[in-house]
Amino acid sequence: MERQEYIDFILDHYNNPRNYGALEDPDILVNGGNPGCGDVVTMYVQVDAENRVDEIKFEGKGCTISMAGASLITEWVKGKTLQEIEEMAYAPIIDQMGQDVVKSRLRCATLGVDTLKGGAREYPSRHALGQKLIQPIVLAHTLITQ
Positions touching ligand FES (CB under 6 A) are 34, 37, 39, 62-63, 65-66, 108, 111
**63 in catalytic set:** no
Nearest in space to 85 (alpha carbons), one of 40, 28, 25 = 28
Q: Which is nearer to ligand FES, 36 or 130 (CB)?
A: 36
Q: Which is nearer to ligand FES, 56 or 111 (CB)?
A: 111
Coil, strand, or helix at residue 49?
A: coil
CB of 65 to ligand FES, least distance (A): 6
Question: Angle formed by the axes of helices 111-128 and 64-76, to 10°?
Answer: 50
Active-site pick, 108, 109, 111, 120: 108
Q: Where are the alpha helices (DSSP H) in the chain?
A: 3-15, 64-76, 82-87, 91-97, 99-102, 106-109, 111-128, 138-144
Q: DSSP class of residue 24?
A: S
Q: Which is nearer to ligand FES, 82 or 93 (CB)?
A: 93
What is the distance between the alpha carbons of residues 75 and 52, in angstroms, rounded to a whole number?
14
Active-site pick, 4, 11, 12, 37: 37
* Catalytic residue set: 37, 108
